Amino acid sequence: MQRILPYFLVLTLFYQACQPAGPQIKQDAHIEMFDDKVLSLIDPDTKPEIISSGHEWTEGPLWLEESNTLLFADIPNNAIYQVRDGVSSLYLKPSGYTGKTPRGGEVGANGLLLDPEGRLVMCQHGDRRMARMESALDDPQAEFTTLVDSYQGKRLNSPNDAVYDKAGNLYFTDPPYGLELNMNDPAKELDFQGIYCLKTDGELLFLDTMSRPNGIAFSPDQSSLLVANSDPKAALWYRYDVLAPGVLDNRTLFYDATSFVGKAGYAGLPDGMKVHSAGFLFATGPGGVWVFDMNAKPVARIATGEATSNCAFSADEKWLFITADSEVLRMRLK
């Protein structure tokens, strides 16, 4: 016999089905504490929440304070998504490859950031350039201006992550991950993977090279520049002294995570990172998000259960956003 539901119950169920699902606890995530000094920032009983899922590979989280919106990239899908008012939706497509010839690989935008004027800047893998979106943040259009796409007449590999200094100079890394065949791609024109500074006057300075330069961030006072190397044979973070805009010295090893690569529960490599104003580095790496003090001592690890690519803070630093494989997470900070 067919069951007839009361009309008001039908309406209630229909309304509930149309509502976006709220954040879900990331059940396989946990926090490991190594030093009590970070208790001022992290509650060890906090569980990250999933705020978006079903993507292919998430990256480049960026918080937009004015609209209370989180942007993030899905690189293989050549798209940027947004989470706003608890709802995840498409924000911009294409995001990193605007060519007409179909191609595979990691074509989309990677690192996302705002320039000093509040405009969206992105590391475009497929177009192999640092670019700026010309439309307003609340009316995104795939209209881009090239900031830089070559060094000494040769095309960049595929800019990956970037950060501005206080003077408006743009520092970025350039590994081969956006090339369809990676290191063996015949379109690769540079025989190295570089770290650069695009100065406000348009001059591009080569700073250093690594096997796989990736995440990049400044210390709170910008006296140091930190760079991740996402090489499974050399899973490292380095620190440089910043002597002047575009002038680095004294490259030193910050932390070596190579021994963790390939171990159960430690998926991923050194990747994106952000520095909290309290003086802690949140760096994605094997097993999740590592938290270091500025003396390179690990003080905590947020184990996500996934290969984890990047992280970002809300403007008040009360929320940490994490891109982890096909998901985007958020975690409350103190």
Other C-beta atoms lying within 10 Å of the C-beta of residue 74 = 25
CA 146/CA 272 separation, integer angstroms: 23
Each as own residue / partner, the long-range contacts of residues 254-260 (CB below 8 Å, 24 or more positions apart, any chain) are 254/226, 254/292, 254/296, 255/290, 255/292, 255/296, 255/298, 257/285, 257/286, 257/290, 258/232, 258/233, 258/234, 260/235, 260/285, 260/286, 260/287
Higher pLDDT, 12 or 290: 290
The dihedral formed by the CA atoms of 296, 301, 306 and 311, expressed in degrees to the nearest 10: -60
Burial of 237 (0-12, 13-18, 19+ CB in 10 A): buried
- Decide if pLDDT at 133 tops 60: yes
Name the CA dihedral angle for 123, 129, 130, 134, rounded to a multiple of 10 degrees: -100
Distance, CA of 281 to CA of 289 (rounded, Å): 10
Residue 23: its pLDDT value, please?
Answer: 85
The pTM for the full model equals 0.93
pLDDT band (50, 70, 90) for residue 244: very high
For residues 332 and 334, give the distance between their C-alpha atoms in angstroms, rounded to a whole number: 7
pLDDT recorded at residue 287: 97
pLDDT score of 231: 98
pLDDT given for residue 17 in this prediction: 37
- pLDDT value of residue 107: 97
Q: What is the pLDDT of residues 298-314, one digit of tens each?
A: 999 999 999 999 999 99
What was the pLDDT predicted at 270? 98
For residues 107-143, one letter each, b for 16 or more C-beta atoms within 10 angstroms of the residue's C-beta and e for the rest, the string is: bbbbbbbbeeeeebbbbbbbbbbbbebeeebeebeee
d(CA 256, CA 267): 15
And the tokens for 24?
């879900």
**Can you give the pLDDT at residue 2?**
36
State the chain's maximal CA–CA distance in angstroms: 80
In whole numbers, what is the pLDDT of the chain averaged over residues? Answer: 94
Q: What is the pLDDT of residues 316-331, one digit of tens each?
A: 999 999 999 999 999 9
Tell me the average pLDDT across 202-206: 98
In this structure, of 21-25, 112-116, 195-199, 220-224, the range with the lowest mean pLDDT score is 21-25
Percent of the chain residues topping a pLDDT of 90? 93
pLDDT in tens, 46-63: 999 999 999 999 999 999
Structure-block tokens of residue 169? 């100079």
The HSE-up count of residue 76 (CA atoms within 13 Å, CB side) is 9
The per-residue pLDDT for range 8-50, each reduced to its tens digit, is 333 333 333 333 456 899 999 999 999 999 999 999 999 999 9
